[in-house]
Structure 1
């Protein structure tokens, strides 16, 4: 699968750096920190943005990103508080609709637990405007059983998502191994790219072994981490290269 000229599912896992600025000034600072950092795509976490409910402010921020990073693959994510995000809004779908129609974004992350009807509506609109859709599920309390995690991927396929993402919280090494096993099987079973991670320090290894087990994208911090266990993009790049040399 290609997003612009970025190929997912093959080769080294692609490094994604989240932007978690609260306002335009912080956004400018974050973007400036990217100049000397390797990355493959950028995730704009709009749930961190203070004026996320104000469409004009959000569109101005998007314009700023595109002025500074015109060629980058841009993923937009509204992570709700239910799945480890920074806020909640009744305008989840409305905000996404407005951003999709700008033709300035490449990928959008949709929490598939929001319901089939809403997910399908956003997916159809996204595809109409040539925006790829990541179906995501996050569990910050536990690691579901292997059967439940595979069922999650099956549901994402049924909903016709372009990319499947699963992030879970481990309580033991066995949980980490379960996530890696499911990742490996899902990558073999589905043609769609798979993104998985076991969070916290315990699950750190899953962020660096995507090439071996089949996770297509891994997240590394630029200025500040956006999830438990996330390390800097620079450190992540070195680990990925070392892993690649050993395969």
Structure 2
């Protein structure tokens, strides 16, 4: 993807943190405008074979309620092969009907299927960035900072937007910790700021949503992707207009994380909330 097709509204297409007012940023990836209107829906490709991955990608491409596909490489036995994934990536892009492709290796400690040494993780990402078939790349912010900064720079040089992410499958950090992590992601050059946490009470869900809204209102110059996981956290996936989250995950078949709902149901709720907010 050429650099000019990944840009922020009213900002030069340099993918650097702009001086825009908090809450004003809209990230454009292809024809998708993230941060404008209702939250955009991501569905994950969690297949363990190329054939299954293509079938899931076709379903996503044909699903009107889904805006973006995520390829979870940690689910694919050959996902660590980097450049050798290029033929599959090209075929996936071909059946996604123009929808952006987010590529992710989720580490075991952050909820993924398999572990990968840090050096291998960043080498894999560098190889994938040179395939020309990646629109967005998920990078875990807790990896070594110098390596994170280097891969963010390389992604931007290749015209690829970066989701800096953090996942806590055990608990929900305090309000100030959530805001600090999101601000750190922004300072590291993220194009989308992501945090997902596990609630142990209803109050934890409200903590995540309040922190997300506070970040969006006071500090965010990038779109947010925030969620509280599991059954308790379902509301956080449906209330992006309130919490400031510009994206949410939903499933077409197998969920990729606890608490995901079917994409059609999520879209129905988001549409109702959007209509209500405009009345």
Q: Which bracket does the TM-score occupy, shorter chain normalised?
A: over 0.9
**Alignment deviations for residues 190-238 of structure 1 (CA, whole Å, 9 cap, x no partner):** 1111110000010100000001221010000112100000011111111
Q: How many residues align?
A: 247
CA shift for structure 1 position 37 = 4.5
Distance 2:80 2:71 in 1: 15
1:24 lines up with 2:54 in the alignment? no
Distance 2:54 2:154 in 1: 30
What is aligned with 1:212? 242
8 A Cα contact 1:33 1:223, kept in partner: no
- Pairing of 1:157-176 with structure 2 (within 5 A): 157-176=186-205
Distance 2:155 2:82 in 1: 18
Distance 1:174 1:223 in 2: 30
The TM-score with structure 1 as length reference comes to: 0.96
CA shift for structure 1 position 246 = 2.2
Q: Secondary structure at the match of 1:53?
A: helix
What is aligned with 2:143? 114
Q: Secondary structure at the match of 1:105?
A: coil
Distance 1:244 1:207 in 2: 14
Instruction: List structure 1 segments (4+ residues) > 3 angstroms apart after TM superposition.
Output: none
- Pairing of 1:160-199 with structure 2 (within 5 A): 160-188=189-217, 189-199=219-229
Structure 1 residues not aligned, in runs of 5+: none
Distance 1:92 1:205 in 2: 33
What is aligned with 2:32? 6
- Pairing of 1:44-193 with structure 2 (within 5 A): 44-55=71-82, 57-69=84-96, 71-90=98-117, 91-188=120-217, 189-193=219-223
**Aligned partner of 2:231 among 198, 201, 206:** 201
1:33 lines up with 2:59 in the alignment? yes
8 A Cα contact 1:8 1:193, kept in partner: yes
Distance 1:71 1:165 in 2: 23
Q: Secondary structure at the match of 2:124?
A: helix
